[in-house]
A and B are shown apart, each in its own frame.
Chain A
Amino acid sequence: MKLISKINYNFISIAISIFFVGGIVFYIMLRSLMLDQTDNQLIESKNLIEIKFEQFLQQPNRYIWKDGLISISLKDKTEDNSTIISDTLINISENNIASAYRKIEFQHKHNNQLYRIKILKELSFTDNLTLNIILLVGGLAIFFTMSFFIVFRIVANTSLLDFYETIKALKEFKIAEPENIKINHSDVDEFEYLNEVITLITSKIQQDYKSLKEFTENASHEIQTPLAIIQNKVEQLIQGEEISEEQMKSFSEILDATSRLSKLNRGLNQLVKIEGGQYIHTEKIDIQNIICKNIDHLGDMLLAKDITVIKNFHSHNKVSINPNLAELLIFNLLKNALMHNVKGGKIIISITDNEITITNSGKDEALNINLLSERFSKGDESKSLGLGLSIVQKICRYSNIDLSYHYLHHMHTIKLVFK
């Protein structure tokens, strides 16, 4: 929900409830005012009748005078002599609909005779007036709310322009790029303050990122050099004449270990580089080409494991991706499919318009898809570093590719959907 919509929504619901409660209060007050006025008129009529009672006595029992229906009757003494004003419903007209009336009842003594006098005044007129006033006020309320709603929308939209600019700049912000975030100045103090804070934070993030990157690179450098020394020294040692078979085997194991360590270091370095978004540049890449080239390179390894590769290429589309990442992605996918394969197994590669699926046979149970992202999660006891699929996942996330994994009858399928 947009901020403007949120404010408008709140504003309208509060306005409606205020107008609703206000309307009820207003109605009650207006009605009591109207009643007061009717009552005053009734009392006025009463006073007039009392003064000129004789004239009234000459009239018929019930007659209309000054909008009021007057009835005079003789009364016994026992009745109380108070004046009562009350509401009443009377069925006067022929259509059997009762109308609301205001009634005043009082006694008057004339020539030693007690009379009971009732004056009735119809309230429907007052009610109509009240209703009309309420409608008018309600209409005004709706009109004001609507106008405010529209005006607020326009005002808010123009005032929030700077804010949207800031959001846009933040969205386009790339941590790996050397230049700091560019945000236009705002004439709104709060937004300007926000921009200042954002500029400060992002430049700090960039600095931290840069030093982290430098640290990683330095660490990688520092690890590679001692590794190179170990490796080179051992390689020189095995050139000696009097090396026993046992010593030779130990040296060979040291070389294997340094080689693995070096590859691990390289893999981690690659991961950091992908995460750091250093592969910004993209090109239209022919994935099929890369797959074929990789399969060619893997020929001897495929042969060694007696693995059949089945290619189902239905499309020759090019996808937009960084060329280095594309190589790394395909290499790691094929490597994974080959490493976790069984002797005499197969790899099925299918390409359609925007999808690539790589299915391989394997002895492992289904992989836990959540573990896929965790570094060093391994399917079996093989020599793999467990980095390959992490790299694949990072590349997919970075390049906006949907990655999914299925397992069925010892066949592992990894599917990539290019968006």
Chain B
Amino acid sequence: MKVLVVEDEELLRKSIQDFLQHEGYIHEAAASFSCAHEKIELYNYDIVLLDLGLPDGDGVNLIEVIKTRSENTGVIIISARNAIDDRVKGLEKGADDYLTKPFHLSELNARLKSLFRRLNFKGNSTYTFNELTINPDDMKACVNNKDLSLTKKEFDLLVYFLANKNRVITKITLGEHLWGDYIDTVDSLDFIYTHIKNLRKKLVNAGSVDYIKNVYGVGYKFNDE
């Protein structure tokens, strides 16, 4: 998967690139509107990570350029502007997803993979990992071709873990991914443990390896080693 990171803030750009490198993506970066414009015209990318507030132009205007060049290139806006109208405007222009800064890298990872699947397999994106098979479109998960009956949250958890294999994911990251802003209403994130415990139990009972490991009580890791 080839990703273009358009972000003017050097440190953030570097940190995203480090992450992409670590996760095995092919990536390039552009620090300005003009540089991004040039790269989009010259090369093909699977996904463009687009910051809206660029020093020499509004990133929103790049969306059309990207989409006219290749419909199959996905656009994920990463912006500090979280105004709803900005989000709507971006999505209307053709952006595929929207992440508000600051975002969790594992969240970005999940969105990248999900978007890539959506763009390239067009609703037929069965994903297999060892004995696990999941289909995000009809929300089906199987272990050794045996259907698992998972709740929506458990299914989302599994998809998220599979997108972030071998990454430590903190509870707050999981909470925000699954419940969004609603997670703020509880003082303790311990209830997430219940959902993970149930998911693990269902997976193991169906004959799967117990991949999900607790990391010092602060997070979890889907371990495939």
Interface residues of A (CB under 8 A from B): 217, 220-225, 227-233, 235-236, 238-239, 245, 248-249, 251-252, 255-256, 258-259, 262-263, 266, 269, 273, 294, 297-298, 300-301, 303-305, 324, 331, 334-335, 338-339, 382-384
Docked-complex contact A249 and B186, CB < 8 angstroms: no
User: How far, in whole Å, are A302 and B19 apart by their CA atoms in the complex?
Assistant: 36
Of the candidates A227, A238, A245, the one having the most CB atoms from chain B within 10 angstroms of its own CB is A238
Q: Which of B176, B191, B219 sits near A259, CB closer than 8 Å? A: B176
Complex contacts, B102 vs chain A, CB 8 Å: 224, 227-232, 258, 262
> Which B165-183 residues have C-beta < 8 A from chain A?
167-168, 170-173, 176, 179-183
| Interface 9-residue window, one of B9-17, B41-49, B125-133 | B9-17
- Interchain nearest-CB distance for A300 vs B (Å): 6
Contact with A along B19-31 (1 / 0, CB 8 A): 1001000000000
- Which one of B65-73, B79-87, B199-207 contacts A? B79-87
B contacts, CB < 8 Å to A: 9, 11-12, 15-16, 18-19, 22, 53, 80-84, 100-106, 153, 167-168, 170-173, 176, 179-188, 190-191, 194-195, 215-216, 218-219
Contacts of A303 in B (CB 8 A): 191
A229 to B7, CA, bound (A): 12
Closest A-B pairs by Cβ, 4 of them: A224-B80, A228-B102, A304-B191, A252-B218
B23 to chain A, nearest CB (A): 10
A263 with B19, Cβ < 8 A, contacts A235-B104, A248-B215, A249-B218 known: no
Cα distance, A301 to B182, chains bound together (Å):
8
**Distance of A146 Cα from B200 Cα, bound (Å):** 93
Evaluate whether A235 and B80 lie within 8 angstroms (CB atoms) in the complex, with A221-B53, A252-B218, A297-B179 already known: no
When the two chains form the complex, which single residue of A220, A300, A301, A305 contacts B80, counting CB atoms closer than 8 Å?
A220
24 A-B residue pairs with CB within 8 Å: A217-B81, A220-B81, A223-B80, A225-B9, A227-B101, A228-B12, A232-B15, A232-B105, A235-B173, A236-B15, A236-B19, A236-B105, A248-B215, A249-B218, A252-B219, A255-B170, A259-B172, A259-B176, A269-B83, A297-B180, A304-B194, A334-B185, A338-B186, A383-B187
> In chain B, what residue has the closest Cβ to A260?
B184
**B182: nearest chain-A partner, CB-CB:** A297
Residues of A within 8 A of B188 (CB): 304
In whole angstroms, how far apart are the Cα atoms of A351 and B210 in the complex? Answer: 47
Given contacts A232-B15, A233-B15, contact A248 B216 (CB under 8 A): yes
The reply to whether B182 and A228 form a contact with Cβ atoms under 8 Å apart is no
Give the distance to chain B from A51, nearest Cβ to Cβ, in Å. Answer: 113
Assembly CA distance A298 to B168 (angstroms): 26
The answer on a CB contact under 8 Å between B218 and A248 is yes
CB nearest to B51 among chain A residues: A225
Residues of B contacting A252 in the complex (Cβ-Cβ under 8 angstroms): 170-172, 218-219
19 additional A-B pairs beyond A248-B216, A304-B186, A304-B191, beta carbons within 8 Å, are: A222-B80, A224-B80, A229-B11, A230-B102, A231-B102, A231-B104, A235-B105, A236-B18, A236-B22, A238-B219, A245-B216, A248-B219, A251-B218, A266-B100, A269-B83, A294-B182, A297-B179, A331-B181, A339-B187
In angstroms, Cα B83 to Cα A231, docked, is 21
- Contact status of A301 and B103, CB under 8 A, knowing A232-B16, A238-B170: no
- Which of A220, A231, A233, A263 touches B184 (beta carbons < 8 Å)? A263
B11 & A338 in contact (Cβ 8 Å cutoff):
no
Query: Per a CB cutoff under 8 Å, which of A224, A238, A301 touches B179?
Result: A301
A220 to B173: give the CA distance in the assembly, Å. Answer: 21
A201 to chain B, nearest CB (A): 28
A298 & B15 in contact (Cβ 8 Å cutoff): no
Indicate if the CB atoms of A225 and B186 lie closer than 8 Å: no
- Report the Cα distance A239→B23, complex, angstroms: 11
Query: Given A231-B102, A266-B82, A297-B182, A225 and B12 touching (CB < 8 A)?
Result: yes
User: Which of B11, B80, B179, B186 has the most A CB atoms < 10 Å from its CB?
Assistant: B80
Assembled-state Cα–Cα distance A251/B169 (Å): 12
List A contacts of B105 (CB < 8 A).
232, 235-236
CA distance A256 to B66 in the complex (A): 36
